[in-house]
Structure formats: structure tokens, C-alpha cells
Amino acid sequence: MRLSSLAPIALCLAGAWPTAPAQAQSGADERPAIAEGVVPDEATKQRILASLRAVYGDARVVDRVQVQDIPTPPNWGEYVANMIGPGIKRVNDGKLEVNGQSVRISGQVLNEAQRQQVLSELSVASNTSYTVTNSLKTGGSEQSVLDATLADRIIEFESGSARLTPRGMAILDEMVARMREMDDVKVQIVGHTDNVGQPQSNQALSQARAQAVRAYLVQHGIPGAGLTALGRGADEPVADNATAEGRARNRRIEFKVL
């Protein structure tokens, strides 16, 4: 995600949500947010970097900013820093370029509503005195985002129970982050088991696990009105139950956008 050097400043925005399973597996939230370009003084540089770190965390911010004696509009550094707010994380693999009083935002957001919201926030942050060019593209359905976040991973539970393991909770934390970017999405959480044991017990376990996932999402801020839980037992395998690997794959949680 290397940018050409633009004056005064160009920011490479870290991914807000993965667009492919490979990105989900490698961890979209580990990608860097890169600041490059030129600013007029060290105080301005530190102000901009502080805003980036507040949004993405210290470890993910890469500083390639140079300090040179260049002219800028009044309060330029303050306006640029204000543009870097939590809402900017809606942009996936994007760039925020500020050259004087000209602003350009590019990248990808989930839908048109988010596209307009990002534009509005940038205009407000610059006190509407800057010209904002919105080059954001919309793309990727809510279902594709959830599928890419889960990828080929399994949300794990303790054996024979509906108690989530730490690894299972870590994956759900990623799902929470993605769902927070979606507007009024309705999701059905579907639990599945392998075919070991009695069908009635498998049905009950799959329902309990789906409900446990729903409860976790609600506990972490996802509105419960848009979430339903359904247990399918062993009725919908995706692999051969004759092998341990196949049974492990069949013990899974699915997220279906309604």
C-alpha cells in the first residue's frame, strides 16, 4: 500500500473490512495506516499522527511524513487532524489526500449510505471551507463481508457444550467490528453439529450454540432485534462425517444475511 509522495499530506487508510478470505485469514485489522507527504512543522506532524493512532492504534501507524517550510492555509493541521476520526475506518484500502484546501477521499465502502456519511463527516471536519472530492466506491454485499471475515475458520466451543472458547470469542470480536459497519442488517445465526450422538441432542446443542453466539454479539453492542438464532443439528453437513476432519468442519456456525 505504498503511496506516491503528495504535498502536503496523503494518508493510506487501513482496511475496515476484508474483501477476500485470504485477507480475513491474515487479519485485515493488522494492515498499516500510512502517512506520507509534507507538513509545515513538527507540531502539525504530531497532531496528524496522534489522530491516526487514536483511530488505528499505535502499532499500525507508519510515519513517512516530512517536515518542510511550506505554506499552508490557516489552521490547516487542525482541520486535517479533525478529518481523521473513527468514521474513516468505514473506508477499506483507501487514501485521504489533502493538498492545501483540496481534499480527496478514495477507497471502498460498503454501501451508498456510508459513502455519503464519510463525505459529510469530512465536510464538517473541515468547517465546509475545504473542497472535498469523494472518489469512494461502493461494493461488496453484507453477506460477502461476513463470509470473508469468517473465511474458513470455525467458531469453537468447549466439547459438548455451548461455551465459547477464547479462539471462538476472538473470531466473534472480528464479526462484531464488521457488523457495526452495517446499517440495519438482519442476520440469522445458524448452528450445526456433526452426526455423533442422538439427533435430538445434536439439534438442542446446535440451537444452544447459535443462541450463545447471538448473546455474545448482543453483549458487544450489536442490536438484538436484527439477530435470530437457529439450530440445524447434523442435517446440513459440509464435509464427510466419517473422518475427524470432516466432523470438525461440520461443527460450525454460519451467518446468513436475511
- Domain with 241 in it: what CATH number? 3.30.1330.60
Residues 43 and 127 in one domain: yes
C-alpha pair distances (Å), 23 with each of 11, 18, 56: 21, 6, 17
Residue 5 CB burial class (10 angstroms; 0-12, 13-18, ≥19): exposed
User: 56 pLDDT exceeds 70?
Assistant: yes
- The whole-number pLDDT of residue 14 equals 58
User: 210 pLDDT exceeds 90?
Assistant: yes
Count of Cβ atoms closer than 10 Å to residue 184 Cβ: 8
Number of domains present in the structure of the chain: 2
- The whole-number pLDDT of residue 20 equals 39
More confident position, 108 or 188: 188
Q: Domain range spanning residue 167?
A: 143-257
Residue 4 lies in a domain: no
Tell which of 117, 138, 159 closes a domain: 138
Segment 228-257, tens digit of pLDDT:
999 999 999 999 999 999 999 999 999 998
Segment 112-125, tens digit of pLDDT:
878 888 899 998 99
Tell which of 138, 166, 198 closes a domain: 138
User: 19 pLDDT exceeds 60?
Assistant: no
Q: How many percent of the chain have pLDDT more than 70?
A: 89
Residues 188 and 123 in one domain: no
Least reliable range by pLDDT among 27-36, 129-138, 216-225: 27-36
